[in-house]
């Protein structure tokens, strides 16, 4: 007898659009559960992440009733996990335990059963995880067979679960089959049958075929709805299985544990599924690694060699993308602040709500990028920051700053250099002296929005695939449908035009000196020469009461220039930036001083988002590009969410503006995504005589728009 373990994971990230969730339900979650419920002999282990579960409970109660009936009659088993699908190992231990417990409590409330096992988000495993799982009352977990192969085991030895431990805390670990992941549901049932029948003589340890993968493969992924439902793959699969129950027995994961012992002991390395190892590497290495993996498939001993390949680990995303690292460390700061605030205070409804917001901010999707992963999606990053800011507000962490501005110096992003946090009643300013004295984060607390949430235009190892564009969903061929890992789709033509790359993170108060031949287009393309060395170098930071003075002496065209910029917070929702430059030699000559700022509103470049300028301009959408002279004031307005940001310049400036677009790859194909508005304020200056001084000031105001 061969046992078949069928494990499905359904997930939507916190903050995803309701219409996207509804479409996924209608095309996948609902039809799939309805279909399998009609085949009671086919057993299912299912995990639904907390945010999606909450949506289903509220919007599709019939799904809950159906799944509950399947659980009660023994057809289905529900799995737990971190409630909002965090990468458990990169959130604080207390948050890990509380997220898992919150999910277990919810499942018991809804289905009447507490889970024995968890779904591990993105199958990101690290060796100390068993201790956390044991403390949370968990018995088993599922990862990929890839994890076991990295430990030196062969696929022939992966026909059952293993035990592993950390500090004596034992957990049962199931190896999900990579072969089954690529067969189900993409290949015809007879191909799947051939594989499953072959396991009897193939497996040397255990007797189970273990499948664990995303439920979105059954209707959400491109081309799968037609193949799985309209063309009958799923019903054909179930019918075939029912005819073969004499040798293939469907079982739930917990049920299999009851009937079979472990096939061995294993210690898994820090890893995830194989594709994640490729995605987490730096761009050039990612491309080279992917090409090498494909090349190995053609070698005579390719599969034997491939099993020893190891890409990057999930944490690499924090070095690959500074925005991901910043967001993660910002989350850790909020978690630490919440725990500190809770000490010595009775746990109340406000703290409980704050904790839930914190947990939502830990949802993994916005922290990474591959074919999946939502770092490139502004609305997911916006949701992370919204929840962080709301958590701080609800926990009264900001109460101490309601009377007036305050300043904290801390190495928030764990890079070895201190940041400066300036808070007043309605704003948080996070300043990095080491990174050009720049403004990295600007929070408008009344609307819980980070106005600096711009993603830079990073080079990605997959950008070369745009050369192969033109394939469509119709290229599936006669033998099934294609996995999204094999398809190149393009959502619009001409995306190559937007493949412009930044060499530094997009932040604000970035200081440059430009010659007269630098144009808006050269700034947009990042093809120009900065005459100075201020933009990415370290400024000295001097806290003076409630203000911060950032100063640096540097080089401009071989001469010496000093810059002092003072950030002065207002009492409520504003702050001022005063620049004072002094020529310390007589060699700099005439040039333009430029201050770059990057901001994004919640609705991005949608129809509700626009510029307001003095003097006015005709094309006011945030997706517009152009040059305007004599600008005294510019506003960025989001009429839908009611958020506005205004910047007044003294003296009037020439303003260059352009939208920051990235080109990224998702399961739907290559797409252009708006990441923010880049504003560069230009001032002509002459630095011909030593001792010359030049001053610039900005007044920034964030407000609620009605």
Q: How far apart are CA 300 and CA 285, in angstroms?
A: 24
Predicted local confidence at residue 489, as pLDDT: 78
Three-state DSSP class for residue 505: coil
Domain assignment present for 84: yes
Helices (H), 458-582: 520-524
Look at residue 388 and tell me if it is in a domain.
no
- Report the alpha-carbon distance of residue 81 to residue 102 in Å, rounded: 9
Per-residue tokens: 33: 């559960």
Query: How crowded is the C-beta side of 304, counted as CA atoms within 13 Å?
Result: 3
Residues with active-site annotation: 122, 214
| Number of neighbouring beta carbons within 10 Å of residue 283 | 15
Q: Give 222-228 contacts, CB < 8 A, sequence gap 24+.
A: 222/473, 222/484, 222/487, 222/489, 222/667, 222/668, 222/669, 223/473, 223/476, 223/481, 223/482, 223/487, 224/185, 224/481, 225/27, 225/28, 226/481, 227/185, 227/186, 227/476, 227/480, 227/481, 228/185
* 549 within some domain: yes
392: in domain: no
387-417, pLDDT tens digit by residue?
999 999 998 755 544 568 999 999 999 999 9
Question: Is the separation of the CB atoms in 40 and 73 below 8 Å?
Answer: yes
Spatial contact of 219 and 185, defined as CB atoms under 8 Å apart: no
- Indicate the length of the chain as a whole number: 706
Ramachandran sector of residue 527 (left: φ over 0; alpha: ψ -120 to 50; beta: rest): beta
Q: How many structural domains is the chain composed of?
A: 2
Give the closest residue to 90 by CA, choosing from 48, 120, 49: 120
Q: What is the pTM of this model?
A: 0.94
How much is the average pLDDT of 329-349? 88
Q: How confident is the model at residue 476 (pLDDT cuts 50, 70, 90)?
A: very low
Rounded (10°) angle between helices 349-361 and 322-342: 160
Last residue of a domain, one of 240, 268, 296: 268
Range of lowest pLDDT (312-321, 444-453, 664-673): 664-673
pLDDT at 519 over 90: yes
Task: Give the residue from 218, 233, 268 where a domain finishes.
Answer: 268
Q: Is the Cβ–Cβ distance between 70 and 76 less than 8 Å?
A: yes
Asked whether residue 99 is assigned to any structural domain, the reply reads yes
Spatial CA neighbour of 428 closest among 567, 604, 635: 567
Residue at 653 is within a domain: yes
Residue 220 has pLDDT above 90, yes or no: yes
Q: Which of 172-181, 368-377, 472-481, 570-579 has the lowest mean pLDDT?
A: 472-481
Q: Give the pLDDT band (50/70/90) at residue 468.
A: low
Cβ-contact 94, 339 below 8 angstroms: yes
Average pLDDT value for residue range 350-359: 94
Q: In this predicted structure, what is the pLDDT of residue 471?
A: 42
**In this model, does residue 58 exceed pLDDT 60?**
yes
CATH number at 87 reads 3.20.110.20
Question: So what's the pLDDT on residue 371?
Answer: 83
Structure tokens at 263: 């096939």
Cα dihedral value 523, 528, 531, 534, nearest 10: 50
The bridge status of strand 248-251 relative to strand 2-10 is parallel
Residue that the structure tokens 């067969």 belong to: 183
pLDDT over 60 at 482, yes or no: no
Report the distance separating Cα 320 and Cα 318, nearest Å.
6
348 pLDDT band, cuts 50/70/90, is confident
Q: Is residue 394 part of a domain?
A: no
The mean pLDDT of 646-656, rounded to a whole number, is 97
- pLDDT 10s digits, 119-132: 999 999 999 999 99
Do the Cβ atoms of 33 and 63 come closer than 8 Å? yes
Strand partners, 551: 540, 564
Whether 37 shows a pLDDT value over 50: the answer reads yes
Q: Is the model more confident about 494 or about 519?
A: 519
Does 343 fall in a domain? no
Encode pLDDT of 585-610 as tens digits. 877 678 999 999 999 999 999 999 99
Q: Tell me the C-alpha distance between 128 and 136, whole Å.
A: 14
- 3-state secondary structure at position 692: coil
Does pLDDT of 478 surpass 60?
no
Average pLDDT, the chain: 93
When pLDDT is cut at 50, 70 and 90, the band that residue 345 belongs to is confident
Take residue 318 and report the two structure tokens written for it: 């924090």
Low-confidence winner among 308-322, 327-341, 455-469 (lowest mean pLDDT): 455-469
Looking up tokens 């965090």 gives 86
User: Residue 184 sits in which domain range?
Assistant: 2-268
Q: Is the N-terminal amide bond of 337 cis, ω within 30° of 0? A: no
- Top pLDDT among 348 and 496 is at 496
User: Which of these three, 241, 268, 295, is where a domain ends?
Assistant: 268
Question: How is residue 682 written in tokens?
Answer: 């230009």
Per-residue model confidence (pLDDT) at position 304: 83
Per-position DSSP letters for 106-162, written without gaps between them: HHHHHHS---SEEEPGGG-B-TTHHHHHHHTT--EEEEEHHHHHTTT--GGG-BS-E
Question: Are both 264 and 407 inside the same structural domain?
Answer: no
* Alpha-helix residue ranges (DSSP H) falling in 307-449: 317-320, 322-342, 349-361, 378-394
pLDDT of residue 342: 85
CATH number of the domain bearing residue 668? 2.70.98.10
């Amino acid at each position: 007898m061969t046992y078949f373990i069928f494990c499905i994971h359904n997930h939507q990230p916190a903050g995803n659009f309701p219409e996207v969730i509804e479409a996924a339900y209608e095309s996948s979650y609902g039809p799939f559960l309805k279909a399998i419920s009609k085949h009671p002999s086919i057993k299912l282990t299912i995990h639904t992440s907390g945010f999606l579960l909450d949506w289903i409970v509220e919007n599709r109660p019939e799904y809950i009733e159906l799944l509950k009936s399947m659980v009660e009659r023994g057809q289905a088993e529900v799995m737990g996990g971190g409630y909002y699908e965090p990468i458990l190992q990169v959130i604080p231990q207390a948050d890990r335990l509380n997220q898992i417990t919150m999910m277990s409590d919810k499942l018991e409330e809804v289905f009447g059963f507490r889970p024995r096992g968890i779904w591990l988000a993105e199958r990101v495993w690290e060796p100390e995880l068993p201790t956390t799982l044991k403390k949370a009352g968990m018995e088993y977990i599922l990862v990929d067979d890839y994890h076991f192969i990295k430990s030196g085991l062969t696929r022939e030895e992966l026909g059952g679960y293993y035990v592993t431990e950390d500090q004596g805390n034992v957990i049962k670990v199931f190896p999900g089959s990579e072969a089954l992941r690529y067969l189900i549901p993409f290949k015809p049932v007879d191909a799947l049958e051939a594989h499953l029948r072959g396991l009897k003589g193939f497996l040397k340890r255990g007797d189970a075929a273990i499948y664990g993968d995303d439920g979105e493969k059954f209707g959400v992924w491109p081309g799968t709805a037609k193949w799985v439902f309209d063309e009958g793959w799923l019903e054909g699969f179930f019918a075939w299985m029912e005819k073969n129950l004499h040798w293939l027995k469907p079982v739930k994961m917990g049920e299999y544990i009851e009937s079979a012992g472990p096939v061995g002991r294993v210690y898994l390395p820090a890893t995830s599924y194989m594709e994640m190892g490729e995605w987490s590497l730096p761009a050039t290495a990612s491309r080279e690694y992917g090409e090498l993996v494909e090349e190995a498939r053609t070698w005579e001993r390719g599969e034997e060699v491939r099993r020893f390949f190891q890409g990057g680990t999930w944490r690499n995303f924090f070095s690959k993308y500074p925005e991901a690292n910043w967001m993660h460390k910002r989350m850790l700061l909020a978690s630490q602040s919440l725990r500190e605030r809770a000490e010595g205070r009775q746990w109340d409804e406000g703290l409980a709500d704050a904790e839930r917001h914190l947990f939502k901010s830990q949802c993994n999707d916005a922290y990474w990028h591959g074919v999946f992963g939502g770092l490139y999606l502004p609305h997911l990053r916006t949701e992370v920051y919204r929840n962080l800011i709301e958590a701080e507000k609800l926990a009264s962490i900001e109460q101490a700053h309601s009377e007036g501005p305050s300043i904290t110096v801390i190495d928030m992003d764990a890079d070895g250099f201190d940041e400066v946090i300036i808070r007043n009643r309605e704003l948080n300013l996070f300043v990095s002296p080491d990174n050009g004295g720049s403004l990295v984060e600007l929070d408008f607390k009344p609307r819980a929005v980070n106005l600096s949430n711009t993603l830079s235009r990073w080079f990605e190892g997959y950008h070369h695939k745009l050369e192969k564009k033109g394939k469509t969903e119709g290229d599936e061929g006669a033998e099934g449908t294609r996995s999204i890992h094999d398809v190149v789709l393009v959502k619009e033509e001409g995306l190559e035009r937007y493949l412009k790359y930044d060499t530094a993170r997009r932040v604000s108060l970035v200081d440059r000196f430009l010659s007269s031949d630098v144009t808006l287009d050269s700034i947009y393309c990042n093809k120009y020469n900065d005459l100075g060395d201020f933009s990415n170098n370290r400024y000295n930071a001097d806290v003076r009461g409630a203000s911060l003075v950032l100063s640096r002496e540097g080089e401009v065209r071989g001469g010496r220039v000093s810059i002092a910029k003072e950030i002065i917070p207002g009492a409520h929702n504003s702050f001022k930036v005063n620049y004072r430059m002094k020529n310390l030699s007589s060699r700099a000559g005439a040039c333009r001083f430029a201050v770059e700022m990057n901001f994004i509103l919640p609705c991005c470049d949608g129809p509700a988002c626009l510029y307001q300028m003095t003097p006015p301009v005709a094309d006011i959408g945030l997706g517009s590009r152009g040059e305007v002279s004599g600008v005294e004031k510019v506003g960025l307005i989001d009429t839908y969410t009611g958020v506005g940001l205004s910047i007044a310049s003294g003296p009037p400036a020439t303003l260059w503006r352009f939208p920051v677009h990235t080109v990224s790859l998702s399961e739907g194909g290559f797409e252009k995504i708006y990441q923010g508005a880049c504003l560069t304020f230009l001032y002509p200056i002459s630095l011909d005589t030593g001792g010359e001084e030049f001053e610039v000031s900005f007044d920034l105001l964030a407000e609620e728009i009605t």
